[in-house]
């Protein structure tokens, strides 16, 4: 009765407290679908926990890398272990001779269309068949000169010198 010019407040009499800032229009806005974006922060929380689910394994991986990295090389503490790559290409080990430090590793990468192996002449290591585009890694913890060959092709020979 006393409201002048304002639309009649019908429909939601119990929400009169919302009218503090603007009468019935505020009440209508609060009840309309347009008010839903205000709930967005609540709806984001599942996504946030999902993101946490995805980042947690990554963090674990990073921690694992940090833990296994320095723990792996027993020889030569304080030195960074390196990996030397030997490419198998054109039925050759390239380079045919590599020199590394004790604790380092050699990785053979097969770039041929044929299978090869990295097999030590003396008992030591045997990669088995390395398929095209496959690779094999061997760690050399002790000093020495280690000759090796391919089990499938007798002309393929190489040498790993560990200092």
Contacts with Cu ion by CB under 5 A lie at 116, 150, 152-153, 156
- Which of 24/150 has CB closer to Cu ion? 150
In 3D space, the residue among 104, 65, 112 whose CA is nearest the CA of residue 85 turns out to be: 104
- The CB density around residue 67, as the number of other CB atoms within 10 Å, is 10
- Which of 30/114 has CB closer to Cu ion? 114
What span, in angstroms and rounded, lies between the C-alpha atoms of 73 and 103? Answer: 6
**Nearest distance in Å: CB 135, Cu ion:** 14
**Nearest distance in Å: CB 147, Cu ion:** 15
Cα angle 92, 93, 96; round to 5: 115
Phi, then psi, of 46 in degrees rounded to 5:
-60, -40
**Nearest distance in Å: CB 109, Cu ion:** 13
- Which of 104/116 has CB closer to Cu ion? 116
What span, in angstroms and rounded, lies between the C-alpha atoms of 106 and 118? Answer: 10
Three-state DSSP state, 14: helix
**Nearest distance in Å: CB 136, Cu ion:** 12
- Which of 18/115 has CB closer to Cu ion? 115
């Amino acid at each position: 009765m006393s409201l002048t010019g304002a639309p009649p407040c019908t429909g939601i009499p119990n929400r009169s407290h919302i009218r503090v800032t603007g009468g019935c229009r505020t009440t209508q806005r609060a009840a309309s679908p347009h008010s839903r974006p205000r709930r967005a922060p609540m709806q984001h929380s599942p996504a946030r926990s999902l993101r946490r689910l995805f980042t947690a394994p990554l963090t674990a991986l990073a921690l694992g890398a940090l833990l296994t990295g320095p723990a792996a090389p027993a020889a030569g503490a304080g030195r960074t272990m390196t990996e030397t790559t030997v490419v198998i290409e054109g039925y050759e080990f390239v380079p045919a001779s590599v020199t590394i430090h004790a604790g380092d590793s050699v990785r053979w990468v097969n770039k041929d269309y044929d299978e090869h192996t990295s097999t030590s002449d003396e008992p030591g290591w045997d990669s088995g068949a390395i398929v095209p585009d496959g690779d094999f890694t061997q760690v050399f913890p002790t000093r020495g000169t280690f000759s090796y060959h391919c089990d499938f092709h007798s002309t393929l020979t190489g040498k790993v010198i560990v200092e």
